[in-house]
A and B are shown apart, each in its own frame.
Chain A
Amino acid sequence: MFWKKNKTAPPPIPVTRAATFSLVVILVMVSLPLVPLLPPGILGLAAVAVIWRLALLRSRGSNPGWMIRTALVIAAVAMIVLHFGTLLGLEAGAATLVSAYTLKLLEMRSRRDALLLCFLGFFVAVTGLLFSQSIPMTVYLLACLVMLVSVLVGLHQSSEKTAIKPVFKMGFMMTLQALPLMVILFVLVPRIPPLWLVPLPDNSSKTGLNDEMAPGDIARLSQSAELAFRATFSGAVPPPNERYWRAVVMHWFDGRRWYQGTEDDWINAGVDPNKLVAWYSHDPTWSVPGEDEEDTLYNYDIILQPSGRPWLPVLGFATEAVDEAGLTRDWRLLAEDDVDLLFQYRMRSGQREGFDRELPYWLKRASLQLPKSGNPRARALAQELRERHGANVSGFVSDVLNRFRLQEYFYTLRPPLLEGNRIDNFLFDSKRGFCAHYAGALTFLLRAAGIPARVVAGYQGGELKDGKIIQVRQFDAHAWVEFWQPGYGWERVDPTAAVAPSRVVEGLESAIAFEGSFLEGAIFSPVRYREIGWINSLRLQYESLEYQWQRLVLSYDENSQKGLFNKLFPGQDTLMILTRLLVISILVVMIITAIVLVKPWKRRAPAADRYYLRFCRKMAKKGAPRLTGEGPQEYARRLSREKSEFARQAMEVSALYIRLVYGKPGTGDLRKLKQLC
């Protein structure tokens, strides 16, 4: 505080050591989820503040003077601005909040400061939810909440009280009592979009599919057992070798990497990039083939984990858009925005092929695009095969696949680094690679022979649970090839299936079992220990819990709220219903609280007590409250000493009260007491 204290103000109430220590613990607890995004400087600052506070607690050192405090504030602001370029925004805001919180801890003197720290603690704790809404995080933050409530309870109790256990018990009970209210508010408060719009964390650094593919990208993904999405099927479930989840299609190759193509690339190819996507409820500018009766159609719901990218994986070719997403010209789903929260969508797709029986000229151009030079040996091989098979594209493809199958090609997560003419080096020298190498090489060969082809990246496989849920993890990331034949359309071919059939049928783990590189960077991932029965069953149970959590809690948004209440109260305005229910619930909670507080079933205090307590309250307002455990006689004596102007009244009141309650009451005593109080 820089301003001068009012002289008549009562002296600040000191904070007990236990409370101070708890506040330090809470600070560390609630800031912990934010640590990964704090600049190192702020972490250092926080560590200094915490250590200083602990030293003060052990009576070492002295409180920081205003010069030091000012310097710390300036340092914190400078570090945040240097690191984020701003003090506002989500990450920078969180950093500002944490530094303000720690600096306040350092300068805490009175109970008032401690209360402020508690409220800041609540705020910081909630901030943690912006960055992760998983079950462990929620449980952890609930624990923080119990701590915070307990410390609030402790701060409001007399400083003589040193027992810590009852305080925490009370904090726990209070949090428990708040839970029903929390559920009511969660279900009933209308999810009106602008109110619930919070800035979202930037997920761009998350592991996940990229819009370009350089050899090695997918190998990197294969080290992560993080969940990518869950698909819940109603009806038939595809067999493992049909589980190809398309997410990204790459048409362009620059000699080193495959990529989706920039707007300029498409304009150069001769098409307006805006026409490549048909957003939801807009009809595509291209023709979509109708359903084929012989095709098996799969119906499924997908809950996609936040990926920071817009693609929505779909089994096979997508033919229709979903809400907040669009259908692309290459038969994929594309979200309007990057997926930074859980994204849920319902799809219906089949295994049918033969899309694009006619290929527009610009798409043909894009599907044949190759760098002007480079990889001469691969080009020569393509020419040779082309001459051998002529127009027989299938023969061409199976010849290449046979080459992969019969020659010394290996499927490995640890391919050698390729330089220069990468396709040549891979095809003729190293012959070792991951799915990306094979897909890239096959596409190159096809294009070099004049057959339109493209690389598709997505996920292949997934773990089937309960017979209807397929869980797909990042290590299921995969790349394969689609090539085009006149009159037939696009056809999928997976060169990896030729070199390592087990990758497609049994998954990555068995395909690379021989080299032991499955999840080698993630020794703590429970997925790695699938062979151990109890770990696996624990993992599966936790995952189904997590699934319910995501389905019921995290994806409870405006739409599901509307859906739920439309089902419960059909034909009525949801907002109206919600408001009414909310008001009713709050009234009910208030009535219950009032009943619990007033306790009407308890006998009413006898009249003498009521008058006496009224007198005590009056005296408390004059600055001399009756202490807990202070008897009437003692209180009267103290009042006569401290507030001599009330001495007579106090003595009379106490004498009457004592006679009425403890001694032998005289007639008219009660009336007299009533008059005096």
Chain B
Amino acid sequence: MSLIDQSLSSLAQAISGKDQQLRLALCCLLARGHLLIEDVPGMGKTTLAQGLAKVTGLDWRRVQFTSDLLPADILGVSIYDRNESVFRFQPGPVFTQLLLADEINRATPRTQSALLEAMEEGQVSVEGESRPLPDPFFVIATRNPVTQSGTFPLPESQLDRFLMRIQMGYPDPAAERAMLNGTTGRAAMDKVSAIISTEQLQELQKKVEQVQARERLLDYIQRLVAATREGDRFVCGLSPRASLALLAAARAWAFMANRDYVLPEDVQAVFPAVTEHRLQSRRGGDVKTLLMEVDVTDAR
């Protein structure tokens, strides 16, 4: 049993009935992307994040975002040391391998952008000095739907920095009953053990990057991206960053299926999770419809 399958079954002990979401979350981690989990409160977002942290054995911290959180609360601040008469940098919670940013859209845009810069650059600038973040650095952010009260919307440019967005959805009745019985859910978090070590994770991430994507597949990705740009289904088409993200996620997905080459089906599997949060739909815009309209081959 491969490391990946072991991790998935271990995670499934705590979060049952959400296999697709677990696969996507792991895929996102392998593709070195950041993950955004969006749903109403109480759907198990935090549990998923915790489980992911535990199973990969990463050093993790959690920040609960609130409207009065300041950038310094995340990045860290220099404090005067009386004994040595110098300012000493006190690193914030961002200096960790896995950061769980809970309810990210409850913070002000200013604080959000402090984190998002760290996500993109892999480093933070505090008081004029750049400080590198650990490797791997993985952010799982959870977000409440914008319709909930007390939330600030995430701007499109910042949403673009998340490789994937997944939605939890309600559990099916059997899974919910198991949770009520106390056999799954946060109570069962203890059963989740570290399966992948940090070194193994880095090795897997390297292998994912070597997964082969041949011309015809890149053609397909380009056609899909072009289809979002033309016509008036979406307010704005996918960015080049999004096409890169799509390829990276498809590679990771192919790797998880024990293949060393990417198939159109891999692209299709990750396409909604990778693109839905980046596209603002207009009348008749739906990424799933798009998949049914763009053929995998343009040969006649």
Min C-beta distance of A423 to chain B, whole Å: 75
Q: Restricting to B204-224, which residues have a CB under 8 Å from any CB of A?
A: 212, 214, 216-217
Q: A613-B297, A632-B264, A662-B262 are in contact. List 11 more A-B contacts (CB 8 A).
A: A163-B231, A163-B232, A163-B284, A166-B231, A605-B300, A629-B268, A631-B296, A633-B263, A662-B216, A662-B261, A664-B261
Task: Select from chain A the residue with minimum beta-carbon distance to B262.
Answer: A662
Q: Does B291 contact A (CB under 8 A)?
A: yes
How many residues belonging to B are interface residues under a CB distance threshold of 8 Å? 27
**Contact of A160 with B292 at beta-carbon distance under 8 Å, contacts A613-B299, A632-B264 already known:** yes
* B297/A663 in contact, CB under 8 A: no
Task: Select from chain B the residue with minimum beta-carbon distance to A605.
Answer: B299
Task: Select from chain A the residue with minimum beta-carbon distance to B257.
Answer: A633
- Give 24 pairs: A residue, B residue, CB < 8 Å, sorted on A: A158-B292, A160-B292, A161-B284, A161-B289, A162-B283, A162-B284, A163-B284, A605-B300, A609-B297, A613-B299, A613-B300, A627-B292, A628-B292, A628-B294, A628-B295, A629-B294, A629-B295, A631-B265, A632-B263, A632-B296, A662-B216, A662-B263, A662-B264, A663-B214
Q: In whole angstroms, how far apart are the Cα atoms of A633 and B261 in the complex?
A: 13
**Contact of A631 with B264 at beta-carbon distance under 8 Å, contacts A160-B289, A610-B299 already known:** yes
Min C-beta distance of A412 to chain B, whole Å: 63
Q: Does B106 contact A (CB under 8 A)?
A: no
Task: Select from chain B the residue with minimum beta-carbon distance to A165.
Answer: B232
* B293/A662 in contact, CB under 8 A: no
Q: 1/0 per position for B147-182, CB-CB distance to A under 8 A?
A: 000000000000000000000000000000000000
Measured as residues with beta carbon below 8 angstroms from the partner, the interface class of chain A is 20 to 34
Q: In whole angstroms, how far apart are the Cα atoms of A165 and B231 in the complex?
A: 9
Neighbouring B residues of A629 by C-beta, 8 Å: 268, 291-296
Neighbouring B residues of A666 by C-beta, 8 Å: none
Q: Does B32 contact A (CB under 8 A)?
A: no
Q: Does A515 contact B (CB under 8 A)?
A: no
Q: Restricting to A623-670, which residues have a CB under 8 Å from any CB of B?
A: 627-634, 658, 661-664
Q: Which residues of A line the B interface, CB within 8 A? A: 158, 160-163, 165-166, 605-606, 609-610, 612-613, 627-634, 658, 661-664
Task: Select from chain B the residue with minimum beta-carbon distance to A616.
Answer: B297
Contact of A163 among B214, B217, B233, B264 (CB under 8 A): B233
Q: Which residues of B line the A interface, CB within 8 A? A: 212, 214, 216-217, 231-233, 259-265, 268, 283-284, 289, 291-297, 299-300
* B212/A664 in contact, CB under 8 A: yes
The 3 closest A-B pairs by CB, nearest first: A605-B299, A609-B299, A631-B264
Neighbouring B residues of A613 by C-beta, 8 Å: 297, 299-300
Neighbouring B residues of A634 by C-beta, 8 Å: 265
* A606/B284 in contact, CB under 8 A: no
* A663/B261 in contact, CB under 8 A: yes
* A663/B212 in contact, CB under 8 A: yes
Neighbouring B residues of A658 by C-beta, 8 Å: 263
Q: In whole angstroms, how far apart are the Cα atoms of A658 and B263 in the complex?
A: 8
Q: In whole angstroms, how far apart are the Cα atoms of A633 and B266 in the complex?
A: 10
Neighbouring A residues of B268 by C-beta, 8 Å: 629, 631
Q: Which of B216, B231, B233, B296 has the most CB of A within 10 A?
A: B296
Min C-beta distance of B179 to chain A, whole Å: 33
**Contact of A630 with B296 at beta-carbon distance under 8 Å, contacts A162-B284, A662-B214 already known:** yes
Min C-beta distance of A555 to chain B, whole Å: 45
* B300/A661 in contact, CB under 8 A: no
Q: In whole angstroms, how far apart are the Cα atoms of A629 and B294 in the complex?
A: 5
**Contact of A661 with B233 at beta-carbon distance under 8 Å, contacts A631-B296, A632-B263 already known:** no
Neighbouring A residues of B289 by C-beta, 8 Å: 160-161
Neighbouring A residues of B212 by C-beta, 8 Å: 663-664
Q: In whole angstroms, how far apart are the Cα atoms of A195 and B269 in the complex?
A: 61
Min C-beta distance of A630 to chain B, whole Å: 7
Min C-beta distance of B269 to chain A, whole Å: 10
Contact of B265 among A160, A610, A633 (CB under 8 A): A633
Q: In whole angstroms, how far apart are the Cα atoms of A124 and B196 in the complex?
A: 73
Min C-beta distance of A634 to chain B, whole Å: 6
Neighbouring A residues of B264 by C-beta, 8 Å: 631-632, 662
Q: In whole angstroms, how far apart are the Cα atoms of A633 and B269 in the complex?
A: 13
Min C-beta distance of A220 to chain B, whole Å: 55
Q: Which of B214, B260, B283, B299 has the most CB of A within 10 A?
A: B299
Contact of B283 among A163, A605, A610, A627 (CB under 8 A): A163
Task: Select from chain A the residue with minimum beta-carbon distance to B285.
Answer: A163
Neighbouring A residues of B291 by C-beta, 8 Å: 629
Q: In whole angstroms, how far apart are the Cα atoms of A355 and B127 in the complex?
A: 115
Q: In whole angstroms, how far apart are the Cα atoms of A163 and B290 in the complex?
A: 12
Min C-beta distance of A127 to chain B, whole Å: 36
Min C-beta distance of B225 to chain A, whole Å: 15
* B299/A628 in contact, CB under 8 A: no
Neighbouring B residues of A165 by C-beta, 8 Å: 232
Task: Select from chain B the residue with minimum beta-carbon distance to A163.
Answer: B284
Task: Select from chain B the residue with minimum beta-carbon distance to A661.
Answer: B216
Task: Select from chain A the residue with minimum beta-carbon distance to B286.
Answer: A160
Neighbouring B residues of A662 by C-beta, 8 Å: 214, 216-217, 261-264
Q: Which of A163, A606, A631, A662 has the most CB of B within 10 A?
A: A662
Task: Select from chain A the residue with minimum beta-carbon distance to B230.
Answer: A166
**Contact of A628 with B261 at beta-carbon distance under 8 Å, contacts A606-B299, A609-B299 already known:** no
Q: In whole angstroms, how far apart are the Cα atoms of A163 and B230 in the complex?
A: 13
Task: Select from chain A the residue with minimum beta-carbon distance to B261.
Answer: A663
Q: In whole angstroms, how far apart are the Cα atoms of A658 and B262 in the complex?
A: 10
Min C-beta distance of B263 to chain A, whole Å: 5
Q: In whole angstroms, how far apart are the Cα atoms of A663 and B260 in the complex?
A: 8
Q: In whole angstroms, how far apart are the Cα atoms of A630 and B294 in the complex?
A: 9
Min C-beta distance of B280 to chain A, whole Å: 16
Q: In whole angstroms, how far apart are the Cα atoms of A374 and B251 in the complex?
A: 110
Min C-beta distance of A154 to chain B, whole Å: 13
Task: Select from chain B the residue with minimum beta-carbon distance to A164.
Answer: B284
* A661/B295 in contact, CB under 8 A: no
Q: In whole angstroms, how far apart are the Cα atoms of A162 and B231 in the complex?
A: 13
Q: In whole angstroms, how far apart are the Cα atoms of A632 and B217 in the complex?
A: 12
Task: Select from chain A the residue with minimum beta-carbon distance to B215.
Answer: A661
Task: Select from chain B the residue with minimum beta-carbon distance to A609.
Answer: B299
Q: In whole angstroms, how far apart are the Cα atoms of A662 and B259 in the complex?
A: 11
Min C-beta distance of A18 to chain B, whole Å: 11
Min C-beta distance of B173 to chain A, whole Å: 27
* B214/A661 in contact, CB under 8 A: yes
Q: In whole angstroms, how far apart are the Cα atoms of A606 and B262 in the complex?
A: 19
Task: Select from chain A the residue with minimum beta-carbon distance to B292.
Answer: A629
Q: Which of A605, A631, A658, A663 has the most CB of B within 10 A?
A: A631
Min C-beta distance of A447 to chain B, whole Å: 79
Task: Select from chain A the residue with minimum beta-carbon distance to B214.
Answer: A662
Q: In whole angstroms, how far apart are the Cα atoms of A661 and B283 in the complex?
A: 36
Q: In whole angstroms, how far apart are the Cα atoms of A158 and B217 in the complex?
A: 25
* B263/A628 in contact, CB under 8 A: no
Q: In whole angstroms, how far apart are the Cα atoms of A151 and B169 in the complex?
A: 39
Q: In whole angstroms, how far apart are the Cα atoms of A664 and B212 in the complex?
A: 9
Neighbouring A residues of B284 by C-beta, 8 Å: 161-163
Q: Which of A158, A165, A629, A663 has the most CB of B within 10 A?
A: A629
Min C-beta distance of A474 to chain B, whole Å: 50
